Structure 1
Amino acid sequence: MIGPTWQLFDRVAGQYDEVVPFFAEFGAAIVEALAPPPGSRFLDLGAGRGALTGPALHRGCAVTAVDAAPGMAGRLAASYPAARVCLMDAEALAFASGSFDLVAASFVIHVLGRPAAGVAEAYRVLAPGGRFAFTGGSARSQGAFEAGPALSESQSLGARLNALFLEFDEFLPPGGSMGHPVDAADLLTEAGFVDLREHRAEATVHFADNETLWRWAMSHGYRAFVEDLPEEHRREFHARVLALPSDNRVLWRPSGVWSGRKPS
């Protein structure tokens, strides 16, 4: 993808999580799994439109939310006046060391230019004994995320989308799209975290039609993939999304949520 990641999210800020509440559903599940007690100093890293901020505030946390995209930060502040919202780079946080009890990042670390730097900053700003959690897979996973809706693989909207992205991946230019897989457990260990844990979060969203599915795809990070395709393949990809079978328009996505504790 050309240009910093935040520029794309700034462009889609008005539509992000507005087509269907995909990230909001994930955020609620993540905060429920972490179960922060009231009064916790909670940092939402790469907060977007507040998928973690809202549930954390509901639990009585003192929430600070940061995002590098001005459009996201502005809308976040308007939606959640009880949170402290800051325009900030996750790889260079302007907070004193030990400022927070819990740091969480939902679908953020893998799109950073330097994921390890973001994890190191989370470690730095945590108080001793604090925990950092983020979405991401790991070779250490116990494989507890395979179950889903009672659908065959060929009927799954998620599988059909995955296959379509895989098919068109070969047409991307070098360095195209956005984000790369990270090993969450390895990143946590390398930063100094201990007591690693793996939780589960998932979202199930329904699309009225394939046009809505397309609008959703263009309202978040998938847009980087589409825009980086050569024009002829971009048009074909669009047509193929609109032509997906209509027998199932339910998208189920699971994610591991890895966390580690900063030693006391």
Structure 2
Amino acid sequence: MTAFDESERRIWAGRADAFAGSFARLCAYPVSRLLDAAGVAEGVRVLDVGTGTGTAAAAACGRGARVTAVDAEPSMVARAARAVPGADVRLAALPELPFADGAFDAVVGNFVVNHVGRPRAALAELRRVTRPGGRIAVTVWALPAAAGQALLGRAVEAAGVGRPAHLPMVDPGDDFSRTEAGLAGLLDAAGLADAGCETLRWDHRTTAGEWWSGPASGAATIGQIVTGQSPEVIEAIKGHFDALCAGFTGADGVLSLPHAALLAHGRA
């Protein structure tokens, strides 16, 4: 396990409810396109890796697929198991999954590759557990970040706060460019055929309270940065957040936050 993986475990420990109340609806947006790209349909044996609160697993069950779902965080596994009783939900983490070679017809990973320290090894493992000719589809956040995605980070930066040293980045030797070419290249390097990638763009509608609840509860890297500050600095970050929200708030008081994600797919 890399230092990045260990950090991710600490960041998400016990935070399934915090995720569900803040970022889960955002991450649900690409699910239908993700399942389409993987060919998930009735009777298909599908693995949902990094299931989180079970959104993709539930959608796959709704299509009549035979669903197995895994996550590295016990609180996510518990919540997903309650939410998706039709799925086999287990605790497991990339890049080592407890399944036989070729066990699944399709494998999906919705915003999970950006949470692993060895993305190339992770894709190779997804290929291993997919039958020859089976399909794999994954999403990651695009960089540079879209305006709505960057809002929380801009508030932190405006308060003069940087990324602390105890939150490591993915080692440059293991990382990849968060662009269409970069993610498609990652799939190519894992030996997937017909690899392709597209950018999905949407406006996430939320409230300032819901959007602030994620970092305020320590969810995700941004939450660890925020909650690691003194009360005075957190108040300053919140002030900048409120000011920045004004540029995204409509007449109905709802935020409309532009986001962009990469959706890549290929065949084992």
TM-score range, shorter chain: 0.7 to 0.9
Pair 1:120–1:23, CA change in 2 (3 A): same
Superposed displacement of residue 232, structure 1: 5.9
For the 8 Å contact 1:90–1:118, the answer to whether it is kept is yes
**Residue of structure 1 equivalent to 2:236:** 236
Pair 1:25–1:93, CA change in 2 (3 A): same
Supply the AA of the counterpart residue of 2:123: V
**Residue of structure 2 equivalent to 1:6:** 9
**Structure 2 SS opposite 1:7:** helix
**Counterpart pick for 1:251 among 232, 254, 257:** 257
- 1:186-212 Cα distance to aligned partner (Å, 9 max, x none): 22121111101224444533233x333
Supply the AA of the counterpart residue of 1:211: G
**Residue of structure 2 equivalent to 1:174:** 165
**Residue of structure 2 equivalent to 1:192:** 191
Normalising by structure 1, what TM-score? 0.80
**Structure 2 SS opposite 1:11:** coil
For the 8 Å contact 2:69–2:87, the answer to whether it is kept is yes
Distance 2:123 2:158 in 1: 32
Superposed displacement of residue 242, structure 1: 2.9
Pair 1:2–1:227, CA change in 2 (3 A): farther
- 1:149-195 Cα distance to aligned partner (Å, 9 max, x none): xxxxxxx6445445445657862223526668633222212111110
Distance 1:113 1:89 in 2: 11
Supply the AA of the counterpart residue of 1:214: W
**Counterpart pick for 1:63 among 54, 62, 67:** 67
Supply the AA of the counterpart residue of 2:206: F
- 1:24-51 Cα distance to aligned partner (Å, 9 max, x none): 2232342244442211111101110012
2:211 matched to 1:213?
Answer: yes
Distance 1:35 1:49 in 2: 22
Superposed displacement of residue 5, structure 1: 1.1
**Structure 1 SS opposite 2:97:** coil
For the 8 Å contact 2:38–2:136, the answer to whether it is kept is no
Superposed displacement of residue 135, structure 1: 1.3
Which segment drifts farther, 27-36 or 183-192? 27-36
In structure 2, runs of 5+ residues without a counterpart are 177-181, 250-254
**Structure 2 SS opposite 1:244:** helix
Identity rate of aligned residues, in percent? 28
Distance 1:118 1:78 in 2: 27
Superposed displacement of residue 79, structure 1: 0.7
Normalising by structure 2, what TM-score? 0.78
**Residue of structure 2 equivalent to 1:142:** none
> CA-atom RMSD, angstroms?
3.1
For the 8 Å contact 2:156–2:226, the answer to whether it is kept is no
Pair 1:234–1:111, CA change in 2 (3 A): farther
**Residue of structure 2 equivalent to 1:153:** none
**Residue of structure 1 equivalent to 2:224:** 224
For the 8 Å contact 2:105–2:130, the answer to whether it is kept is yes
TM alignment of 1:62-211, pairs within 5 A: 62-136=66-140, 157-158=148-149, 160-161=151-152, 163-164=154-155, 171-174=162-165, 176=167, 182=176, 183-208=182-207, 210-211=208-209
Supply the AA of the counterpart residue of 1:242: D
Distance 1:137 1:211 in 2: 23
In structure 1, runs of 5+ residues without a counterpart are 140-144, 147-155
2:251 matched to 1:260?
Answer: no
Distance 1:177 1:169 in 2: 19
Distance 2:190 2:256 in 1: 38
Distance 2:30 2:160 in 1: 26
Distance 1:169 1:52 in 2: 37
2:38 matched to 1:40?
Answer: no
**Counterpart pick for 1:25 among 20, 24, 29:** 29
